[in-house]
Amino acid sequence: MKYLDEYRDERVARGLVAQIARRATHPWVLMEICGGQTHTLMRFGIDELLPAGVEMVHGPGCPVCVTPLETIDKAIAIASQRGVTLISYGDMLRVPGSQTDLFHVKAKGGDVRVVYSPTEALKFARANPDQKVVFFAVGFETTAPANAMAVWQAKREGLKNFSMLASHVLVPPAIRALLSSRRNRVQGFIGPGHVCTVMGYHEYEDLVVGGFEPVDLLEAILMLVTQLEEGRVQVENQYVRSVTYKGNLPAQNVLGEVFEVCHRKWRGIGGIPESGLNLREEYAEFDADRIFGTQEVTAEEPSECISAEVLQGLKKPTDCPAFAIRCTPENPLGAPMVSSEGACAAYYQYRRHMVAAGPGGR
């Protein structure tokens, strides 16, 4: 197959569903890691097409969802200062912090801006040398190379008014943490194709790297179910049109040049050793956390939001008592309802709550 439409071909998709149904003789719990994959499952109703024994649960691969509350609070504290421009991706503005969100900081006169890439933030810093420009960088291995490149470029140019509040996270340690949890239900993982496009899949031993279109996901599910039914455990690559074993080496090089692996707290889930990326000491002059003295900011997660359970595949968004009642995209209580990759937003957007409650909804 060469074109996008072919990965949405209904005949091919139904054929794969039939093959999965034939292969699955036991119940299996599978997790797609990435929020983009969750949205494809919901949008195309794949979860409802699968045989009853094959259950999909949704993983922590939504960068906005796993950014810790205190990091949002740090961004809010920095953005509230005079002479500062805080720049980030659109989703980050609506993620609730302890007291408020960046959108409200902006509404009250804070200089908070939205961009599509860190190079736009660099451009703004060059054009506004009297303004302290902070790029709020979140994301997995996918976005980290571009953010690393921005810092590398700023150092090369000697930019004095640019810094980064970095909250990057890594997929392999998160999978290990999920698997080692006593409460784990997941028996097979669909790995995030875009992360593996950058990093390759040599770090994994036991998942199927999957793409983002319906046929990609169904093929990955079939590969996983086949492995499980045959008692095999191995890494396989469904997303061959994008992912190679070693990945994108120039991107990995710039990542290693600017960032180093660190302990990282994941929102709702807690600390996971060696699961994040921080700026290296050589780039400390660009570390907004140090520049603005926010390293010690801490925050308690709100108890009503069960996103920790959702992001670990222990519960579905529709299990949350607040879902679609007190928590909606217009008034989110937790990040998974805000983010365009969040599982709660996917369930809401594709009306899983209406399905759960019948024609009248909740």
Closest separation in Å from C-beta 185 to ligand SF4: 17
Of 52-60, 125-133, 152-160, 327-335: span binding ligand SF4 (CB under 6 A): 327-335
Q: Which helix (H) or strand (E) holds 275?
A: strand 270-279
68 is a site residue for ligand SF4 (CB under 6 A):
no
- Cα–Cα distance, 140 to 128 (Å, whole number): 29
Q: What is the token pair recorded at 101?
A: 């969100």
Smaller CB distance to ligand SF4: residue 38 or 307?
307
Of 137-145, 241-249, 252-260, 326-334: span binding ligand SF4 (CB under 6 A): 326-334
Judge contact between 121 and 100, C-beta under 8 A: no
Among 125, 334, 341, 346, binds ligand SF4 (CB under 6 A): 334
CA 203 vs CA 147, 164, 172, 253, 266: distances in Å: 22, 27, 7, 16, 20
Closest separation in Å from C-beta 28 to ligand SF4: 24
- Cα–Cα distance, 200 to 313 (Å, whole number): 25
Other CB atoms within 10 A of residue 332 CB = 23
Closest separation in Å from C-beta 308 to ligand SF4: 8
333 is a site residue for ligand SF4 (CB under 6 A):
yes
What x-and-dash track marks residues 296-315 binding ligand SF4 by CB under 6 A? Answer: --------xxxx--x-----
Closest residue to ligand SF4 in the complex (CB): 334
Ranges of H-type helices in 211-282: 214-230, 249-258
Q: 55 forms bridges with which residues in the sheet?
A: 29
Q: Any idea which residue has 């640019």 for tokens? A: 162
207 is a site residue for ligand SF4 (CB under 6 A):
no
Q: 259 forms bridges with which residues in the sheet?
A: 279
Judge contact between 217 and 32, C-beta under 8 A: yes
What x-and-dash track marks residues 250-289 binding ligand SF4 by CB under 6 A? Answer: ----------------------------------------
Closest separation in Å from C-beta 319 to ligand SF4: 8
Smaller CB distance to ligand SF4: residue 154 or 306?
306
Closest separation in Å from C-beta 102 to ligand SF4: 17
Smaller CB distance to ligand SF4: residue 99 or 331?
331
Number of residues that bind ligand SF4 (CB under 6 A): 15
Environment class of 291 (CB within 10 Å of its CB; exposed 0-12, middle 13-18, buried 19+)? middle
Smaller CB distance to ligand SF4: residue 256 or 329?
329
42 is a site residue for ligand SF4 (CB under 6 A):
no
Instruction: Please give the single-letter amino acid code of residue 323.
Output: F
Q: Any idea which residue has 């024994």 for tokens? A: 53
Environment class of 190 (CB within 10 Å of its CB; exposed 0-12, middle 13-18, buried 19+)? buried
- Cα–Cα distance, 82 to 153 (Å, whole number): 26
Long-range contacts, 357-360 (Cβ 8 Å, 24+): none
Among 162, 320, 352, 353, binds ligand SF4 (CB under 6 A): 320
Closest separation in Å from C-beta 316 to ligand SF4: 10
Closest separation in Å from C-beta 264 to ligand SF4: 20
337 is a site residue for ligand SF4 (CB under 6 A):
yes
Smaller CB distance to ligand SF4: residue 125 or 346?
346
The residue count for the chain: 362
Q: What is the token pair recorded at 82?
A: 């005079």
Smaller CB distance to ligand SF4: residue 41 or 207?
41
Smaller CB distance to ligand SF4: residue 289 or 341?
341
Which residues of the chain form contacts with ligand SF4 (CB under 6 A)? 304-307, 310, 317, 320, 322-323, 327, 333-334, 336-337, 344
